[in-house]
Amino acid sequence: MSEEEKKAYMLLKTVIFQYHGLDEDEIMNLVETATKINAHSEMEWANRFISEDYFTSFERAREYLNEVIGDLSKDKRIQYIKMVWEANNLKGYVTEMEATAMLKFAKDWNLQEEFRTLVNN
């Protein structure tokens, strides 16, 4: 995974987790992910990106991610959505706000049907 892809993935995951406020399990998940893919600086970048203006961070992230991820292959875009969906499921549930956030990204990336299939499975 390139540095740009790591930044995109950490931003995607962080902004969805922070959509309702981070809990301890989500913080641990982010740290574990950063360790696993060697992306601690990218995680710090994502946190700074969000903290610049928390209230607009989701829309700013959508703009940024649409430029970075929107140009990737369909399989790669599906992989990003799937990784975030699975990370949310690790805690045993996905909030309505998190699902809505992921649905917005799926729509942006023209993956609505694939996301519905993922949710139904």
For position 76, what pLDDT does the model report? 92
Per-residue pLDDT tens for 35-87? Answer: 999 999 999 999 999 999 999 999 999 999 999 998 889 999 999 999 999 98
Nearest partner of 66 among 105, 18, 28, 14, judged by Cα:
105
Query: In terms of C-beta distances under 8 Å and separation of at least 24 residues, what long-range contacts does 1-5 make, across chains too?
Result: 1/37, 1/39, 3/42, 4/68, 5/68
Does 22 score more than 90 pLDDT?
no
Q: Which of the four pLDDT bands, split at 50, 70 and 90, describes residue 20? A: confident
On the 0-12 / 13-18 / 19+ scale of CB atoms within 10 A, 36 is: exposed
Q: Which helix (H) or strand (E) holds 121?
A: none
Give the count of beta carbons closer than 10 Å to the beta carbon of residue 106. Answer: 22
Per-residue pLDDT tens for 93-120? Answer: 888 888 899 999 999 999 999 999 998 9
- The count of residues in the chain is 121
Q: Where are the domains of the chain?
A: 3-120
For position 79, what pLDDT does the model report? 93
Encoded tokens for 41: 């600086």
* Sign of the CA dihedral running 76, 24, 88, 91: positive
